[in-house]
Structure 1
Amino acid sequence: MLDLAPGSITTEAQLIERIGLGRTPVREAIQRLAWEGLMEVRPRAGLAIAPLHAGDWLLALDAREGVEMVLARAAARYATPLAIERFQHAAQAMHRAVVASDVAGFLEADKALDEALALAADNRFAARLAAPLQTHSRRFWFRYQRETGLAESAARHVELIQKILAGDEAGAEAEAGRLMALLRSHAQAAVSR
């Protein structure tokens, strides 16, 4: 949620103090964030937080779209009772977030939905491709969209959940495509600002 400003510099020691964890988990997190392109490790210079350029949102969505459709279709086919429960919780959390205009709550629910999607789809390769792209998308959405897109975004996500829970593979795939199209419209608007 951009607690670390895009383009800013921090250090491992500052992160340890800020988060309150030990050196090992912070280093592991730094490695993962660097691998995902969210942070750049600069030896003896610190850690650079990835900048946000609206045009990059479109690139992330280009990479994400097909993977999301694969995950949605598979989730509709293979959803287990545990995954179904997680989808239901994510939908309820999204509803609560919209009612309360709670952007942070929405982003948490969105992450929970992504995790349920990965679990239900049972395709670790697609899930591993999607995860960093989903994280980048949340970051861009938070920076460029926030409250103005909360209800509309939640509605698209809930439609996707409903198609998955109904076992409608083609419908889930199409709904994932519609969700990506909505995000693309937001990204295009951000680029043209």
Structure 2
Amino acid sequence: MIVTLELAPASVTTEGGLIEQVGLGRTPVREAIQRLAWEGLVEIRPRAGIAIAALHAGDWRKVIDARRGVEIVLAREAARNVAHAASEQFREAAMTMQRAVITGNVIFFLEADKALDEAMARAAENPFASRLAAPLQTHSRRFWFRYKSDTGLTEAAEHHVGLIRAILDRDEAGAAAEAGRLMDLLRAHADAAARR
């Protein structure tokens, strides 16, 4: 809901309101709020509610700059370590992205992007890099949804599928290069969003 802006940037909600919206109990919602606060997606304001992080176009560049190096590490290590079970997750993510492009379904694309990030984290076998990347990936998806989801689906999917191919081919240098190209694409989008 935060990534797809259903919970509007800079809006304020309450724990009770979130419990009602998501239909879960107090404990899982509280745990999610704590994790989201740690990731910088919400700010807990005692007795005032929960503020959804604002979305400033210039911050997207900062997210991409922070993300670049760790994505290259994850891609290289995923190509080195990919196992048969993980390769199925990569193939499924690629197929879902391609279906998302054909149908123009941005939500499918975001789900496939998250599945790809999870497959890469699992295949890379580097929990330190994965934990560092996860919140940056979420912030990046949120920015992409706000600024590029209406026009950037095909291009983004092509870059992701190129990354998946390199990983499945166990091409470490190629995977690192594809991850770098994907970050370059996102940085170009971030630069354009900041100029608006």
Same fold (TM over 0.5): yes
Letter in 1 for 2:93: A
Residues 29-108 of structure 1: pairs in structure 2 closer than 5 A: 29-108=32-111
> What CA distance in whole angstroms lies between the structure 1 residues aligned with 2:185 and 2:25?
40
**Correspondent of 1:22 among 25, 37, 53:** 25
Residue identity opposite 1:168 in structure 2: D
Map residues 124-139 of structure 1 onto 2, 5 A cutoff. Answer: 124-139=127-142
The separation in 1 between residues aligned to 2:140 and 2:85, in whole angstroms, is 26
Report whether the alignment pairs 1:111 with 2:114.
Answer: yes
| 1:82 to partner: Cα distance | 1.3
Provide, for residues 130-168 of structure 1, a one-character-per-residue CA deviation record: whole Å limited to 9, x for no partner.
000000000000000102000000000000000000000
Q: What is the CA deviation profile of residues 3-28 of structure 1, one whole-angstrom value per residue up to 9, with x for unaligned ones?
A: 10000000000000000000000000
Aligned-partner SS, 2:150: helix
| 2-structure distance, mates of 1:80, 1:45 | 48
Give the distance between the partners of 1:29 and 1:67, measured in 2 at CA: 24
Q: Deviation per CA, 1:110-139, whole angstroms, max 9, x where unpaired?
A: 000000000000000000000000000000
Q: Tell me if 1:147 matches 2:153.
A: no
Aligned-pair RMSD on alpha carbons? 0.4
CA distance in 1, matches of 2:86, 2:129: 17
Deviations 1:93-122 (A, max 9, x none): 000000000000000000000000000000
1:122 aligned partner, one-letter code? E
- Partner of residue 2, structure 1: 5
| Residue 81 of structure 1, CA deviation | 1.1
The equivalent of 2:164 in structure 1 is 161
TM-score normalised to structure 1 length: 1.00
Stretches of structure 2 lacking an aligned partner (at least 5 in a row): none
Q: Percent identity?
A: 69
- Structure 1 gaps, min length 5: none
Between the aligned partners of 1:192 and 1:152, the Cα distance in structure 2 is 20
Partner residue of 2:182 out of 161, 175, 179: 179
Q: Count the aligned residue pairs.
A: 193
Q: Do structure 1's residue 123 and structure 2's residue 121 form an aligned pair? A: no
Dislocated runs of 4+, deviation >6 Å = none
> Within 2, Cα distance between the matches of 1:36 and 1:79?
28
